[in-house]
Amino acid sequence: MSLLLGHIVDALGGSLEGGATRDVVISRIAPLEVAGPGDLSFLSNPRYQQQLAASRAACVIVAPAMRDAALARGACIVADNPYVYFARATQLWRQRNAPAQQAGVHASAVVDPMALVHPTATIGPLCVVERGAQVGAGTILKSRVTVGEGCTIGARCIVHAGVVIGADGFGFAPEQGQWVKIEQLGAVRIGDDVEIGANTCIDRGALQDTVIEDGVKLDNLIQIGHNVHIGKHSAMAGCVGVAGSATIGAHCTVGGGAIVLGHLELADNVHISAATVVTRSLTRPGQYTGMFPIDDNARWEKNAATLKQLHSLRERIKALEQALKAA
Amino acid sequence: MSLLLGHIVDALGGSLEGGATRDVVISRIAPLEVAGPGDLSFLSNPRYQQQLAASRAACVIVAPAMRDAALARGACIVADNPYVYFARATQLWRQRNAPAQQAGVHASAVVDPMALVHPTATIGPLCVVERGAQVGAGTILKSRVTVGEGCTIGARCIVHAGVVIGADGFGFAPEQGQWVKIEQLGAVRIGDDVEIGANTCIDRGALQDTVIEDGVKLDNLIQIGHNVHIGKHSAMAGCVGVAGSATIGAHCTVGGGAIVLGHLELADNVHISAATVVTRSLTRPGQYTGMFPIDDNARWEKNAATLKQLHSLRERIKALEQALKAA
Amino acid sequence: MSLLLGHIVDALGGSLEGGATRDVVISRIAPLEVAGPGDLSFLSNPRYQQQLAASRAACVIVAPAMRDAALARGACIVADNPYVYFARATQLWRQRNAPAQQAGVHASAVVDPMALVHPTATIGPLCVVERGAQVGAGTILKSRVTVGEGCTIGARCIVHAGVVIGADGFGFAPEQGQWVKIEQLGAVRIGDDVEIGANTCIDRGALQDTVIEDGVKLDNLIQIGHNVHIGKHSAMAGCVGVAGSATIGAHCTVGGGAIVLGHLELADNVHISAATVVTRSLTRPGQYTGMFPIDDNARWEKNAATLKQLHSLRERIKALEQALKAA
């Protein structure tokens, strides 16, 4: 479970400096403050420069601007984007040290004969792939994933355990106090290079398809409602809920626990803070937030109680202003 | 995958008007703005009347009040409730075009010999039905559903993939800084015509049963705590959490991401907005809301900071009022 | 399905008083207001003393302070901590009346030959235990649980259906508008006596392990991000999300639907109210809250609209104070 520094630089580029020799054995990738003499580390944020100086790592990946500081400590790899370099190093690590899940359909999976699974795709243990579903080249369904009837997943996707793709969207017409089911006749279409976290759900569309474009990354326990459209390379953290027919642009990010209401449109490059409720369309890029600030419970209680009178407080301020003007 | 207009009206009623002939072939149901010459569409909200005029649909379902506007465009079906008519049309579509999941127990499911599964029920792939559980007539467990020991599900229910019915409720007694488990001796009782979304969890009761009454509709990733009681025909959107021993009336709706705290009572016809936290019992019907309004992050930061002084601002207003009165 | 009072006291201690005889047959444990002549009940909170007086239970567990009130009614068991006594009674009930899930690996489970499952552990139906994973003595994986490669679970844990332990943490480096995957090379380490609720997810660490210490109790549908550390005997209610690299102390509680942002530290004995967003480290024990108070929708709308002007209202109050001082 180790690699030579030389092999790393051969595979990923960057310049080896500060007395680092190609034949140093790296046994682990580790954060600066934890790394020991056999470890490769990285400095992605100049804020942590002090940790760099103190680190016992065998070698540290740094940006050109940090080159001098790194050399003062010892061995380093200088790379344009140390964080991306680190990411690729983890990939190298996995490739060399961990055997990949074998391509093919696990014996315990239930794959409909009318499903289309690419020969290089991996259908893990206890997955269900229904009739007419398609799974693209190199895509991996880890374990206990359901891909519903007629849903398609592109190439090189990773779908973690417990994911449900293509359950019915939540559609009912009210009639005399009861609910009449609207059958969900659409499907789910997922592009290439999408990653979907554990136990996340993506519902099928009512009449048209729910669409997840290329490169989208979804964390765990996310709910994507029917007819939602998520643009390329957008990313969402855990526990997010996106209600039906919302359209989210490309390169958006949504923080953990945020909720996007139905039928809204979010432009490209919109960023939603954690736990924020999006109640209107957002047509301009930017960061948006709405969350009650945390406080000691006692102070929160006072402020929350006053909040219920906020509108009347505004009226009292108005009255004061008028009274003062009149005085 | 198509139906004649005449068959649709024969099955669902409504009057075919505006030059529509019974032998027009309908190949799809589609929204107004998408529908083409082979499609059936519907107008459920008079607000979208402009889309009606512009629609290329072969036929549009409309309410009597929209009849003239529809006739000006062409073929229509006039029905009392176009949205319900549309819902029934999707059902017809599914019946005619998609073979239903076959009744019976899938070979990969694990059903305890002491479970009672109705012969017309469908236990899909990789489901688990434990000892003493009951599944009623016509009910469908899609795939990877767990129904725990002694839990019962009524007739004509649909339970989507990944649902867990009858996991232990979250009950512990604190003792000297540790937790002593309270065994959950109750079960879950689910009525008829209930639909439960993917990866939703309904916990078993501690001493008595958790109860979901007839016609309740639950979306995906919902958590229903132990001893909760949900009244008939209530509906909840995705990511809702209902804490233990809450009682929710009939015909309630709960928006996505809302939280209902434990031991509360919600009357019939209470409607909770998305992402709202219900912290007290609600004895009167109505719409209730509590959510921090979204804003540009910079403006939110200013307002959130001020919010922490809200109580003292009220005191300052009071002081100003007294000073002005004294002046 | 019944026990003699004498057997209960023999097993759990406490003193049988008020005319209770050892040979009374107890057929059920029930809440005070529901309990009938064959039932054992308990009074854990003096607030419910009125329910005690009215209860028809065969016997009621009470604290020494409630002894007189209990004797006035009839048979009782006096115990130091009636709630803990009740908890142990439910355990006794389960032991005596419900056959435990059999130890061993269910035939339908997929356990890698390189996984280490203790002979007294139970791997329920349709579970997946990957290579190098370890499951400790007496631990129960109920059904459809995934334990990922190299993850370890201690002794006497209960893991409910649908849980995913060891899915990849959510780690990506941004590069030219796309996301480069950071392979998650760590694992998950779970201590002894941990309980994990249905469909909860605990991600593996990026470089080091995600750690759940002894005695932690997690409810359903919780998301624990990579590299999180949760201290001993902390408990979290349903739908909580803990973002990556957060460190939560021992004996903490987190209410349902709360969100803890990444890289924060919570001290021991910190208590977070339901639906609160923790946006900063909390170094002192105590109760913390942040949630928008629920209100009638109409009043909420007025207050929420005013909230967006809160900062400017403060400015207006300041101006009024200065004007009044100048006057």
Rounded Cα distance, B242 and B264, in Å: 10
Top residue of A131, A144, A178, A183 to mutate, by most chain B CBs within 10 Å, is A183
Out of A293, A311, A324, whose CB is closest to C306?
A311
pLDDT given for residue C306 in this prediction: 94
Rounded Cα distance, A216 and A197, in Å: 11
Q: Is C288 helix (H, G, I), strand (E, B) or coil?
A: strand
pLDDT given for residue A28 in this prediction: 94
Return the higher-pLDDT residue of C19 and A176.
A176
CA distance, residue C212 to nearest chain B CA (Å): 15
Contact list, C219 vs chain B (CB under 8 Å): 170, 223
Beta bridge partners of B289: C295
| Strand bridging mode B295-296 / A286-289 | antiparallel
| Strand bridging mode A172-175 / C76-78 | unpaired
pLDDT given for residue C324 in this prediction: 87
pLDDT band of residue C20 (cuts 50, 70, 90) is: confident
Rounded Cα distance, C75 and A53, in Å: 72
The whole-number average pLDDT for the span C99-113 is 90
Are residues A226 and A205 in contact, defined by beta-carbon separation less than 8 angstroms? yes
Q: Catalytic residue among C226, C229, C263, C311, which?
A: C226
Rounded Cα distance, B81 and B66, in Å: 11
Contact list, A307 vs chain B (CB under 8 Å): 307, 310
> Is the CB of residue B181 less than 8 Å away from at least one CB of chain C?
yes
Cα Rg, chain A, nearest whole Å:
26
Out of C83, C126, C274, whose CB is closest to B259?
C274
pLDDT at C100 over 80: no
Q: Which residue has the tokens 């867990």?
A: B164
Catalytic residue set of B? 226
pLDDT band of residue C92 (cuts 50, 70, 90) is: very high
Out of A29, A293, A307, whose CB is closest to C303?
A307
CA distance, residue C257 to nearest chain B CA (Å): 7
pLDDT at A327 over 90: no
pLDDT band of residue C325 (cuts 50, 70, 90) is: confident
Burial class (CB in 10 A: 0-12, 13-18, 19+), C182: buried
Give the C-alpha distances (Å, rounded to integers) separating B167 from A223, A296, B219: 21, 34, 18
pLDDT given for residue C187 in this prediction: 98
pLDDT at B191 over 90: yes
Residue among A75, A71, A64, A98 nearest A5 (CA) = A75
Could you give all domains of chain B from N- to C-terminal order, each with its CATH number? 3-97 (3.40.1390.10), 104-288 (2.160.10.10), 297-326 (no CATH)
Are residues B260 and B244 in contact, defined by beta-carbon separation less than 8 angstroms? no
pLDDT given for residue B277 in this prediction: 98
> Is the CB of residue A326 less than 8 Å away from at least one CB of chain B?
no
Are residues C61 and C14 in contact, defined by beta-carbon separation less than 8 angstroms? yes
Are residues B101 and B122 in contact, defined by beta-carbon separation less than 8 angstroms? yes
Q: Do C294 and B276 touch (CB under 8 A)?
A: yes
pLDDT given for residue B97 in this prediction: 77
Quick one: closest CA in C to A307, which residue? C303
The whole-number average pLDDT for the span C98-114 is 90
- Sheet bearing B134-135, strands edge to edge: B116-117, B134-135, B152-153, B188-190, B210-212, B229-230, B247-248, B265-266
Helix segments in chain B, DSSP class H:
5-12, 49-54, 67-73, 82-97, 297-307, 310-326
Q: What digits encode the pLDDT tens for the residues B54-91?
A: 999 999 999 999 999 999 999 999 999 999 999 999 99
Give the C-alpha distances (Å, rounded to integers) separating A36 from A7, A33, A55, A86: 20, 9, 8, 17
pLDDT band of residue C225 (cuts 50, 70, 90) is: very high
pLDDT band of residue C1 (cuts 50, 70, 90) is: confident
Rounded Cα distance, C86 and C89, in Å: 5
Q: For a pLDDT cut of 90, what percent of chain B falls above it? A: 93
Q: For a pLDDT cut of 90, what percent of chain C falls above it? A: 93
Q: Chain B neighbours among A 206-225 (CB < 8 Å)?
A: 206-208, 221, 223, 225
pLDDT at A1 over 90: no
Residue among C271, C155, A307 nearest B309 (CA) = A307
Rounded Cα distance, B205 and B230, in Å: 13
pLDDT given for residue C158 in this prediction: 98
Q: What is the largest CA-CA distance in chain C?
A: 87
Beta bridge partners of B147: B129, B165
pLDDT at A121 over 90: yes
Q: Write out the two tokens for B326.
A: 């004294």
The whole-number average pLDDT for the span A132-138 is 98
Q: What digits encode the pLDDT tens for the residues C228-241?
A: 999 999 999 999 99
pLDDT band of residue A224 (cuts 50, 70, 90) is: very high
Dihedrals phi, psi of B52, to nearest 5 degrees: -60, -50
The whole-number average pLDDT for the span C157-162 is 98
Quick one: closest CA in B to C126, which residue? B126
Q: Write out the two tokens for A191.
A: 């592009």
Q: What digits encode the pLDDT tens for the residues B242-256?
A: 999 999 999 999 999
Q: What digits encode the pLDDT tens for the residues B135-163?
A: 999 999 999 999 999 999 999 999 999 99
Q: Which residue has the tokens 């009470």?
A: C62
Beta bridge partners of C201: C164, C223
Q: Write out the two tokens for A137.
A: 């080249």
What's the mean per-residue pLDDT of chain C?
A: 96
What's the mean per-residue pLDDT of chain A?
A: 96
Outline where DSSP puts E strands in C71-187. 76-78, 104-105, 110-111, 116-117, 122-123, 128-129, 134-135, 140-141, 146-147, 152-153, 158-159, 164-167, 172-175, 178-181
Beta bridge partners of C159: C141, C196
Contact list, A301 vs chain C (CB under 8 Å): 289
Q: Write out the two tokens for C255.
A: 């209410």
Contact list, B143 vs chain A (CB under 8 Å): 110, 128, 130, 146
pLDDT at B101 over 90: no
pLDDT given for residue C226 in this prediction: 98
> Is the CB of residue B305 less than 8 Å away from at least one CB of chain C?
yes
Q: What digits encode the pLDDT tens for the residues A253-276?
A: 999 999 999 999 999 999 999 999
Chains that touch A (3 or more CB pairs under 8 A): B, C
